[in-house]
Amino acid sequence: MHSVYRLLWISLWITSSALASSEPAHVNVEKELASLSARNLYDLDPKEKESSLSPVSRMKFFEIKKKWKECGALGQKALRGNSEIQGWVAASWLRCELKNTESAKNKKSLYKPVEWLRRHKEILKEGPWRKSLWQDYLSANLNLLEAQRTPAKVNELLEQSEEIPNEALATLLAYAGEFAEKKDAPKALYFYEQSLQLRDNKPVRDRMEAMKNRLNIKFSTTAPGLDGVLENEGAEVSLEDKMNRALKANDLMTALKTAVILQTEYVGSKTARRLKDKPLEIYLQMVKGASTQEKDLAAFAEIEKIHSARRGEWAQLLHRRGDYEQALVFADSALKGEHYNSQGTVLYWLAGRSAHLLGQYERALGYFAKLSEFHSGTDEAAEAMVRSGLIHLRLKNFASAAVQFDKAIAQKKERFDLQARYWLVRALENIDTEKERAGVEAKILISRYPFSYYGLRLTAEANNGQYAWPGASLTLPPQTENVWLVGEQKKNWARFKTLTKAGWLLEAQTEAQELPRSRNPWLGYRLAKFMAKSFQFPMAIRWMSEAMDLESSLRSPEALTLIFPKAFSPWIEGEAKKYNLSPVLVRSLIRQESAFGIRAQSSANAQGLMQLIPSTAQDVARRLGMKKLEFPEDVFRPEINIPLGTFYISSLIDQFAGNVPFALGAYNAGPTKMRGFTEARSEIKDLIAKGSSSPMDEIWFDELPWNETSFYIKAILRNTLLYKLLDASKVDWNLVLWQDLHNKKANLR
């Protein structure tokens, strides 16, 4: 009986434990913050010796520094006592051994992590590391199979064929074919065919052909009934040949006429679709070097035979290329008969923008007026009102400018609201009877956009050149908000803390992304603070910004210090000093580019802290004499990314005569595009050497044809001001606001 009661007690204890573990877990953020232990191995204090790190931290440090052998050697040791993060440790161990295999060309070191994972297959099936770990596990097994393959090992991997990429599956099927050759030739032939369907491979194809010959298998390759299928393509092929012969003979008019016939008489055909932009290419070749607005009238008469929709597409293409002269020509031509439909919206927008960027202000105002009249309520019409206001400012028609900005604000288009309000203030300031209203509008802008570049400027101007923080010192209410974690979130949180303590920041970031969000600003602030102290800056910046939007009292130096971090200071300060730059500029650029996210990667494939695209990184690395860089992995390393990016922004500042805003525009849009923008109008080109930050000399910020670049320049200038304010609580607003960001001699061109 005693044993029965004991079994019953054990059963009840197990049941109650299971129920308890399924209960939501309460997290007191304040207490967690007080006991937080965090390490940044990517920004390790130079005074801290690597040998003082724990095995799991030392292993990751070796991986970061690409010391693959040392990293792999610590794998088993790092697994001990770290059961919560075994999946992450196993993934790092295997990754390091794979890299070590590449460099040492010795596959023996792969056996230990592969065997460990074979014994702990549950780790391959769960956890946020699963996808990358499985791919590396597969790669490691394929590496080992090259040295020693057995049917059992091949079949073991093929059992999971639904999770194997086609490339690897093709290899495994080829191996299976080899094993089957001696015992079951048809089976071998089948596996070879399956392998070749996934990936063409000459050795496999040769083996299959040899087997087919051995089995006396032959297939007919004749395909009857195809006569005449291409008959209808003859005329198009003939026209294309004629066009190519004319191009070769430099008879551009004949080539153009032939290309136009293809686009007008064979609309929608395969050849016409393939050569759809050929008339444009030939025409541009004919007018190459012509002066503004000049065109070959006979050539353009041919172009106008093509449907206006296609000419409208070409106008957009030319505008994107920065050829505003021809974009205007094509948009104006395509507008005939397209005034009121959706195509007309785009064409008026293209024509107005192109004329504006060329300095043809009266013509631009005409297009913008029609756009606002015929297509009111659209985003394009709102932009037209803003651009019309900017043109009137340039022409010193301040009352007309104010009218346009008022109209733009009335459209209630959020993306143009800040611009319209700021330039409305500047227009009103220049009208004697509207100065009082200018002050009122400035206060409205400051309340809505206190930490924008324009908000900071107006705040300082309202206080005789001194900046005053919009809120008092931060006072938090006692924590009453709770965080409750359920299901996998509890494991995410536990792993996040363990990884953060060990310095595995990227893995911790992956875990943190699964944690719940809160719309409560006070809780949002505390969570953002926790993330900032954990070196998860992208997440901290996003959460803190959301909290400050919800609760204005959070807009304080204490809060901003957390989201304007000073990470990677040794690298930033050392590289900035090398090129006579202020660390504030480099830090501000990183903050905007990547939010201090080490592995940040944009849709345009810009990489790392300073968001360098591979071609730029390769060019800069070559100029700096950096050899054997591994792309993209090396570009993600702060000790490489920061020197590359700092050199690049320094060289752009030199190219643009020491003018920081123009250099920032070139960093974002590319120097060629930025140079094209500045060369189109003398009033813009002259500003490069002028080096001014007076409001009227910054109109071009919002005239840029790239919205992202317009925002980018202002955001980084805003960052520099906030970093300086957080450092000194005072900025001299009476000087050129960016002149202290470098100490270079002007490189006038």
> Looking at the predicted structure, is the pLDDT value of residue 325 above 90?
yes
Domain residue spans of the chain: 42-214, 234-451, 483-563, 569-741
| pLDDT, position 483 | 87
**Mean of the per-residue pLDDT values of the chain:** 89
User: What value does the mean pLDDT take over residues 670-689?
Assistant: 94
pLDDT greater than 60 at residue 291: no
For residues 12 and 599, the model is more confident at 599
Residue predicted with more confidence, 354 or 629? 354
Fold of 42-214: 1.25.40
Q: pLDDT digits over 621-671, tens only? A: 999 998 878 888 899 999 999 999 999 999 999 999 999 999 999 999 999
pLDDT of 339: 66
In the numeric block, the tokens 């000093």 are attached to: 577
| More confident call, 436 vs 8 | 436
Q: Greater confidence, 390 or 226?
A: 390
Chain position carrying tokens 């900046």 = 467
**Burial of 377 per CB tally in 10 Å (0-12, 13-18, 19+):** exposed
Question: Which DSSP state fits 697?
Answer: G
- Residues 39-67 pLDDT 10s: 999 988 777 888 899 999 999 999 999 99
pLDDT at 78 over 80: yes
| 161 to 68, 150, 173, 660: CA distances (angstroms) | 30, 17, 10, 55
Rounded CA-CA distance 378/387 in Å is: 14
Side chain identity, residue 334: A
Percent of the chain with pLDDT over 90: 65
Per-residue pLDDT reduced to its tens digit, 700-712: 999 999 999 999 9
Q: What is the pLDDT of residues 728-737, one digit of tens each?
A: 866 777 788 9
Q: 476 or 351: which carries more pLDDT confidence?
A: 351
pLDDT per residue as tens digits for the range 257-288: 999 999 999 988 888 999 999 999 999 999 88
When pLDDT is averaged across residues 722-745 and rounded to a whole number, the result is: 84
Averaged pLDDT for residues 666-692 = 94
Return all residues near 219 (Cβ < 8 A) that are at least 6 apart: none
Is domain 569-741 classified as CATH 1.10.530.10?
yes
When pLDDT is cut at 50, 70 and 90, the band that residue 693 belongs to is: very high
pLDDT of 477-489, one tens digit each? 877 677 889 999 9
The better pLDDT of the pair 551, 495 is held by: 495
φ and ψ of 197, to 5 deg: -65, -30
Output the six-digit token pair for 578.
């090398």
Asked if 593 is an active-site residue, the reply is yes
DSSP string for 593-617: HHTT-TT-B-TT--BTTTTB-HHHH
Q: Summarize the confidence of residues 467-486 as an average pLDDT.
A: 77
Residue 315 Cα distances to 303, 373, 426, angstroms? 12, 22, 33
Q: Which class does domain 234-451 fall in?
A: mainly alpha
> 158: pLDDT confidence band, cut at 50, 70 and 90?
confident
CA distances in angstroms from 78 to 73, 84, 87, 293, listed in the order given: 10, 12, 11, 69
pLDDT of residue 215: 78
Domains 42-214 and 569-741 share a fold: no
Tell me the DSSP string of 277-292.
Answer: THHHHHHHHHSTTPPT
Phi-psi region of 322 (alpha: psi -120 to 50; beta: other; left: phi over 0): left
pLDDT at 11 over 70: no
Residue 5 pLDDT: 45
Catalytic residue of the set 236, 593, 698, 703 = 593
pLDDT tops 90 at residue 675: yes
Show Cβ contacts of residue 707 under 8 Å, excluding neighbours closer than 6 positions: 415
User: 118 versus 744: which is more confidently predicted?
Assistant: 118
pLDDT of res. 708: 95
Span 598-615, average pLDDT: 92
Of 149-153, 216-220, 314-318, 319-323, the poorest mean pLDDT is in: 216-220
Mean pLDDT value of segment 239-256? 93
d(CA 616, CA 614): 5
What pLDDT, in 10s, does the model give residues 413-460? 999 999 999 999 999 999 999 999 999 999 999 999 999 999 999 999
Per-residue pLDDT, averaged over 542-550, amounts to 91
The region of weakest confidence among 145-154, 361-370, 696-705, 714-723 is: 145-154
Whole-number pLDDT of residue 3: 52
